[in-house]
Structure 1
Amino acid sequence: MKITKTPSAPCWVDLSTPDTDAARLFYEGLFGWRSEVVPDSRAGGYGMFRGPGDALVGGVGVLRDPKQPAAWLPYFQSSGIDAVVARVKGNGGSVAAGPTDVMEQGQLAVCQDPSGAAFGLWQPVNHPGFGVVNEPVSFCWFELVTHDPDGAEDFYQSVLGWGARRRTLGAGEYTEWSVDDEPFGGMLDTASASFPEDVPARWTVYLAVADTDATAARCGELGGRVLVHPTTIEPGRFAVLADAWGASFAVIAYGAGAGAG
């Protein structure tokens, strides 16, 4: 995955959480990020995380609906957000919020695919999105877990124009997403990957790290949880973690010579 201004490519992530101040401290302690709160009162306390080279890696905002769980949300870039939202609705998805202006920074919408997996759309104006990817403690991969891989492939290809390449992974299949032949993420079928039946469809964001085991241990020390213990797979060693408020994310240390796609 690389930083790109290409429409439909991943361009941002943010965390919705009930306690933004404590969450900022958690991720500062886990990844060594620096955080700051947007000074404009219209931002409602929204914060930014900075990582390698002080570049922007993601955002954090207060959870607006206390009934919703804390979660990381990926955003995909749009050059015509109204048309993309129309395609979401026309292909069986739904729109939870927007499109709406975010001060002078851009326009956003929050959508769900037909299986209920949430994702964001971002049409940039002054805020382009990621300042760094693939470096340790920055985002590097985006993975959809779904009960309906065939339906999801049709949906995202119709709405965002992604490429989809299926390959064998263990006893099941793995689909690799791409934009302009540049891989940025994948898709797992809950059935072939032996997930529990009650696991909801969702997007998982991955961060590159230097040491997966040390990161998982540190997560526990800070009050988080290890959902999938460090495991070696073809690209490297990964784990699935959750912060102290239940927002889950994955980390991966790529093996020698392995890239982020």
Structure 2
Amino acid sequence: MAAFAHFEPCWVDAQLPDLEAGKRFYGELFGWTFRPGDGPYAEALGGGKLVAALAAKQDGRMPTAWGVYFATDDIAATVARIREAGGQVIIEPLPAGGAGVLAQAADPGGAVFGLWQAGERKGFQKWNEPGSFCWTEVYTRQKDRVDAFYEEVFGFQGTDLGGPEEGAPEEDGPEQGAPGEREREEGARTEGTPEEGGPEQGGPEEGTPEEDRPDADQSGADESRADESRTTGSGTARSAADFRVWSPAGTEPGPDTAIGGRRVLTDAFPAEMPSYFLICFAVEDCNTTAGHTVRLGGRITTPPFEIPYGRMAVLQDDQGAVFAVLQPSAAGRGQSGL
């Protein structure tokens, strides 16, 4: 398995109060199975391939949240650039056995992300397939500083995209520019990896969008609307403008090469909401996944809606961690390899 490209998202994990409850929730939702790691975390596998990890929070003050790691060829140099560009280093480069080296940082707006310099462990063994990672984007109130930060530190090239498709709820869903992933080779990267170690160590089918169905899927969405006043606000009241996608250095900027994006936290969001990265997982059926989330004790913070790349929803697990799901359209599947 080749290493991930420089500054490509290569891993995600969730920090949760109750690890066993997290395993039950995501095992039911995505069909993941789990194997223990070295410490209070569990590696998640989809179809026998690594897709993510769940970690038990060691400090109750830590947020219950999903986080993303970006691949780097030189973690020490990247950490130095983060400081020079106005970011904050939270965890200095920390070896994770022979698996690699990790670090954790925050951008100038306060959004936290991880870095991973691969050793024996490269990162995901499966992505852009149902039940695995397919997209990430940062939510911030300081777009100018944050845009400059990622362009300087990671070399990302930004492309500003427009508002929602006609008919998409401006208050309830992401706008027009949603997930466009870099074209990749067909299939997941596969290689046997050691039992120990991973980016989380030591730290922190076919089917096009269908009409809304009057079944459990849609009832889940209806329930979420009725309960909307009690949600955290994550994923709701999104801005219809100020959406930018990131393409890696050396590529043609635009949605077809994008590996992530940036959105703006407007005044419509609660003032206390911090900047954060939203993690998106591919699914076969967005409506069904949303309804299943509610039945498992979670919530729908943004009910399913259409975007140019498929059908998307923003969800919350039964412990409060927010994530998104995307059912790719035929066009979106052609671009991303799904």
**Percent identical residues:** 37
Query: 1: distance between equivalents of 2:83 and 2:58?
Result: 23
* Separation in 1, partners of 2:272, 2:158: 26
More strand by share: 1
* Structure 2: segments with no counterpart, 5+ residues: 165-239, 252-256
Structure 1 residue aligned with 2:263: 188
Amino acid of the residue matched to residue 39 of structure 2? G
Matching residue within 211, 217, 222 for 2:285: 211
Tell me which of 268, 272, 295 is aligned to 1:221. 295
Distance 2:11 2:148 in 1: 23
Runs of 4+ in 1 over 6 A off after TM superposition: none
The gaps in structure 1 that reach 5 residues or longer are none
Higher relative contact order (CA 8 A, sep 6+): 2
- The answer as to whether partners of 1:236 and 1:252 remain within 8 angstroms in 2 is yes
- 1:23 paired with 2:98, answer no
Q: Which residue type is aligned with residue 241 of structure 2?
A: G
Partner-residue secondary structure (3-state), 2:25: helix
Correspondence for 1:90: 84
Q: Provide, for residues 207-248 of structure 1, a one-character-per-residue CA deviation record: whole Å limited to 9, x for no partner.
A: 011111110111111111111111112221111111111111
Instruction: Kindly state the Cα deviation for residue 45 of structure 1 after the two structures are TM-superposed.
Output: 2.9
Q: Is residue 56–residue 131 contact of structure 1 (8 Å, CA) maintained in 2?
A: yes
SS of the counterpart of 2:242? strand
Alignment match of 1:100 (pick from 94, 105, 108): 94
Q: Which among 158, 174, 177 is matched to residue 243 of structure 2?
A: 174
| Secondary structure of the structure 1 residue equivalent to 2:55 | strand
Q: Is the 8 A contact 2:128 2:134 kept in 1?
A: yes
Matched ranges for 1:43-192 at <5 A? 43-51=38-46, 53-170=47-164, 171-179=240-248, 180-181=250-251, 182-191=257-266
**Of 242, 252, 256, the match for 2:326:** 252
Q: In 1, are the aligned partners of 2:49 and 2:125 still within 8 Å (CA)?
A: yes
The whole-number CA distance in structure 2 between the counterparts of 1:6 and 1:79 is: 9
Per the TM alignment, residue 98 of structure 1 is displaced from its structure 2 partner at its CA by 2.2
> Whole-Å Cα distance in 2 between the matches of residues 67 and 9 of structure 1?
29
Seen in structure 2, the aligned counterparts of structure 1 residues 36 and 101 have a Cα distance that, compared at 3 Å, is: same
Deviation at 1:4, TM superposition (A): 5.8
AA partner of residue 221 (structure 1)? R
Letter in 2 for 1:172: A
Q: Which amino acid aligns with 1:138?
A: S
Q: Counterpart in 2 of 1:230?
A: 304
Aligned length: 253
* Alignment RMSD (CA, Å): 1.7
Contact 1:69–1:246 (Cα < 8 Å) also in 2: no
> For residues 88-138 of structure 1, what are the alpha-carbon distances to aligned partners after superposition, in whole Å with 9 as ceiling and x for unaligned?
111111111121011221110111001110000000101110111111111
> TM-score, normalized by length of structure 2?
0.72
